[in-house]
Amino acid sequence: MRAKGASPHSQAQQAQQGQQNRAFQLIRSTQEAGVDIFHFALFPEGESMRAYNRTNPDACFTHFTSPEAWATGSAQAYIGEFLGQIHPDDQPEMISYVQTHLDKCHQGVGLNEIHRFTSSRFRARKTQGNWGWHELRSRIYGHESGLILTEGVMTEITDVMELLLKDSLTQLPNRLATEQQLQRIFDRNPQANLVVINLDVDRFQSINDRFGQVSGDAVLQHVANTLQRQLPSSAWLARLEADEFLLALYPDTPISASASETASGQGSARLAAHDARDLASQADAAVRRWQEMLKHSFAERRELPLRLTVSAGAAVYSGGVTCAKQLLQQANTALMEAKRRGPASYCLYSSRISEAIEQRLLMEKDLDLAIERKDFELLYQPQMDRSGRLIAAEALLRWSLPDGRIVAPDFFIPIAEQTGQIRALSQWVLETACAQLSDWQQQGLQRPAGGAQHAPGGLRLRPQRQPGERGRAAPGHRCRHPRGGVHLHHRFGADRLRHPAGGERWARLGRRHPRRR
pLDDT digits (tens, 9 = 90+) for 396-406: 888 988 888 88
The CA–CA distances, whole Å, from 96 to 36, 294, 324 equal 21, 43, 20
290-314 burial, b for 16+ CB within 10 Å, e for fewer? Answer: bbeebeebbeeeeebeeebbbbbbb
**Mean pLDDT, range 67-75, rounded to an integer:** 93
**Mean pLDDT, range 242-257, rounded to an integer:** 70
Q: What is the pLDDT of residues 111-155, one digit of tens each?
A: 989 999 999 999 999 888 899 999 999 999 999 999 999 999 999
Over its C-alpha atoms, the chain yields an Rg (Å, rounded) of 36
Q: Which residues are bridge partners to 121 per DSSP?
A: 135
Contacts of 265 (CB under 8 A, 6+ apart): none
pLDDT at 419 over 80: yes
pLDDT at 463 over 50: no
Please state the pTM of the whole predicted model: 0.65
What pLDDT, on a 0 to 100 scale, did the predictor assign at position 494? 30
Say whether 133 sits in a helix, a strand or coil: strand
pLDDT at 39 over 70: yes
What pLDDT, on a 0 to 100 scale, did the predictor assign at position 394? 83
- As a whole number of angstroms, the distance between CA 317 and CA 201 comes to 24
What pLDDT, on a 0 to 100 scale, did the predictor assign at position 149? 97
What pLDDT, on a 0 to 100 scale, did the predictor assign at position 319? 65
Superfamily covering domain 166-349: Reverse transcriptase/Diguanylate cyclase domain (3.30.70.270)
Q: In angstroms, how far is the first alpha carbon of the chain from the final one?
A: 74
What pLDDT, on a 0 to 100 scale, did the predictor assign at position 54? 94
Least confident of 1-10, 245-254, 413-422, 424-433: 1-10
**Mean pLDDT, range 174-197, rounded to an integer:** 89
**Mean pLDDT, range 24-47, rounded to an integer:** 79
**Mean pLDDT, range 506-511, rounded to an integer:** 38
In CATH terms, are 4-161 and 166-349 the same topology?
no
What pLDDT, on a 0 to 100 scale, did the predictor assign at position 515? 39
Sort 512 into a burial class: Cβ within 10 Å, 0-12 / 13-18 / 19+: middle
Give me the chain's average pLDDT, please: 77
What pLDDT, on a 0 to 100 scale, did the predictor assign at position 505? 38
Are 442 and 378 contacting, i.e. CB atoms less than 8 angstroms apart?
A: no
Higher pLDDT, 462 or 358: 358
**Mean pLDDT, range 237-262, rounded to an integer:** 69
Task: Kindly write down the DSSP assignment for every residue of 282-295, as one continuous string.
Answer: HHHHHHHHHHHHHH
The CA–CA distances, whole Å, from 309 to 201, 203, 292, 346, 471 equal 6, 8, 8, 11, 45
- As a whole number of angstroms, the distance between CA 93 and CA 114 comes to 23
Task: Kindly write down the DSSP assignment for every residue of 378-398, as one continuous string.
Answer: EEEEEEE-TTS-EEEEEEEEE
What pLDDT, on a 0 to 100 scale, did the predictor assign at position 263? 40
What pLDDT, on a 0 to 100 scale, did the predictor assign at position 207? 87
- As a whole number of angstroms, the distance between CA 235 and CA 70 comes to 39
Please give the share of the chain, as a percent, with pLDDT higher than 90.
39
Which CATH fold would you assign to the domain 4-161?
Beta-Lactamase (3.30.450)
Q: What is the pLDDT of residues 351-397, one digit of tens each?
A: 898 888 888 888 888 898 888 888 898 888 888 888 888 777 788 88
Least confident of 253-267, 410-424, 437-451, 491-505: 491-505
Are 163 and 292 contacting, i.e. CB atoms less than 8 angstroms apart?
A: no
Q: How far is CA 309 from the centre of its chain?
A: 21
Q: For 59, phi and psi rounded to 5 degrees?
A: -70, 130
Residue 454's pLDDT band (cuts 50, 70, 90)? very low
**Mean pLDDT, range 335-348, rounded to an integer:** 93
pLDDT at 303 over 90: no
Task: Kindly write down the DSSP assignment for every residue of 174-204, as one continuous string.
Answer: -HHHHHHHHHHHHHH-TT--EEEEEEEETTH
- Domain limits, the chain: 4-161, 166-349, 368-509
Least confident of 174-183, 284-293, 497-506: 497-506
